[in-house]
Amino acid sequence: MAEAHTERRDTLVALRAPSTVAAASELGIPAGTLHTWVQMLKSKDTSIDTASNKDMATLIEENRRLHKELAIAKEEKEILKKAATYFAQHQK
């Protein structure tokens, strides 16, 4: 049930966005992937089974988690860089 809701939400976002690229960016997924999904939905291709949908949902969720972790790591790197610069200047 939740998967169907997620699929409908993603589809609506894709259809309402000005472009596939914008929708993909909003969803945190590659534009090519979203384009493929939209084309499959438009053609009503049912060749993708439920197991594949679960795998894809898992990958999307992992992608979002990794994007958040990367953002945190980049922020930490910048803080450490600034701290190193500060201490190097005030060593004497």
pLDDT in tens, 26-67: 778 888 887 787 777 777 655 556 667 778 888 889 999 999
Centroid of chain to Cα 13: 13
User: In degrees rounded to 5, what are phi and psi of residue 51?
Assistant: -60, -40
Q: In order of start, what are the domains of the chain with their CATH numbers?
A: 2-89 (1.10.10)
pLDDT tens sequence across 78-89: 999 999 999 999
pTM of the full structure:
0.44
Nearest to 15 by CA among 60, 47, 7: 7
* Residues 48-57: contacts with CB under 8 Å, at least 24 apart: 50/3, 53/3, 53/7, 54/3, 57/3, 57/6
